[in-house]
């Protein structure tokens, strides 16, 4: 095809395609591949953060519940008297020391009621008076060991009665498991030397 210009000279029309506009298929595939790789790495990081957050919340819940149980026990033991430390079936009311530790702690509360704490079926249980044992820890909390060490519970031994409570527990399962040990020392509030 011929076209004419201002001075009426004929010249051929150029059929020229410009490759400078747009992306080629290869460029598009490379860009999409890089985007997919970056998104895969980002998703792995995001899932890791979610998992860490879940584990942290679970651990916090367990520790808060266990802290409440330990604080409640400590307060009752501190204001109680006639400490008796023994084995699971022993709920005696006579004072008894446990320098080597045991799983049961019984005492007379400030209100005059016999209170007993024990380790049973991976939980801490409490019995008030002649009632039955009731779990004081949530079912999600797994207690591996609870030991009471009692010293000075007898009269005339020139020692103020005190109880060391040691709890081994864990939260989570398998690779998300966190083990921890709590202990507290409680001294009887009533003067007894």
pLDDT tens per residue, range 141-169? 889 999 999 988 777 777 888 999 999 98
Q: CA nearest 190: which of 85, 95, 90, 87? A: 95
Query: Strands of 104-108's sheet, edge to edge?
Result: 81-86, 104-108, 114-120, 123-128, 134-135
Higher pLDDT, residue 41 or 20: 41
Q: What is the pLDDT of residue 75?
A: 93
Q: What is the pLDDT of residue 72?
A: 92
pLDDT at 2 over 60: no
Q: What is the pLDDT of residue 88?
A: 64
Could you give the CA distance from residue 153 to residue 23 in angstroms, rounded to a whole number?
87
Distance of CA 8 to the CA centre of its chain: 91
Could you give the CA distance from residue 166 to residue 146 in angstroms, rounded to a whole number?
6
The full set of domain ranges for the chain reads 35-187
Q: What is the pLDDT of residue 175?
A: 72
pLDDT at 21 over 90: no
- C-alpha to C-alpha distances, 33 to 21, 24, 37, 44, 45, nearest whole angstrom: 22, 14, 6, 17, 19
Of the chain, the percentage scoring pLDDT greater than 90 comes to 32
Of the chain, the percentage scoring pLDDT greater than 70 comes to 84
pLDDT at 7 over 80: no
- E strand spans, 38-161: 81-86, 98-102, 104-108, 114-120, 123-128, 134-135, 142-151
Average pLDDT, the chain: 83
pLDDT, tens digit, 9 for 90 and up, residues 120-136: 989 999 999 888 999 99
pTM of the complete model beyond 0.75? no
20: alpha, beta or left? (left if phi > 0; alpha if psi -120 to 50): alpha
Q: What is the pLDDT of residue 4?
A: 57
> How many Cβ atoms from other residues are within 10 Å of residue 127's Cβ?
17
Which of 48-52, 87-91, 103-107 has the weakest average pLDDT? 87-91
* Residue 118, token pair as written in the block: 């024990």
Could you give the CA distance from residue 19 to residue 105 in angstroms, rounded to a whole number?
87
| Confidence tier at 6 by pLDDT (50, 70, 90) | low
């Amino acid at each position: 095809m011929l076209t004419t210009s201002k001075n009426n000279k004929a010249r051929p029309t150029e059929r020229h395609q410009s490759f400078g506009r747009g992306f080629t298929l290869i460029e598009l595939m490379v860009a999409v591949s890089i985007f997919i790789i970056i998104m895969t790495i980002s998703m792995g990081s995001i899932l890791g953060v979610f998992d860490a957050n879940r584990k942290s919340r679970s651990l916090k819940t367990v520790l808060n519940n266990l802290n409440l149980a330990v604080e409640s026990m400590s307060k009752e033991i501190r204001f109680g008297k006639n400490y008796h430390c023994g084995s699971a079936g022993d709920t005696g009311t006579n004072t008894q020391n446990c320098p080597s530790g045991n799983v049961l702690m019984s005492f007379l509360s400030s209100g005059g009621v016999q209170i007993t704490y024990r380790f049973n079926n991976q939980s801490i249980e409490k019995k008030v008076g002649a009632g039955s044992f009731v779990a004081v820890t949530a079912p999600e909390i797994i207690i591996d060991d609870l030991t009471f060490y009692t010293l000075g519970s007898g009269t005339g031994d020139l020692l103020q009665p005190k109880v060391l409570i040691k709890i081994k527990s864990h939260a989570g399962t398998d690779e998300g498991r966190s083990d921890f040990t709590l202990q507290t020392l409680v001294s009887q509030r009533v003067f007894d030397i």
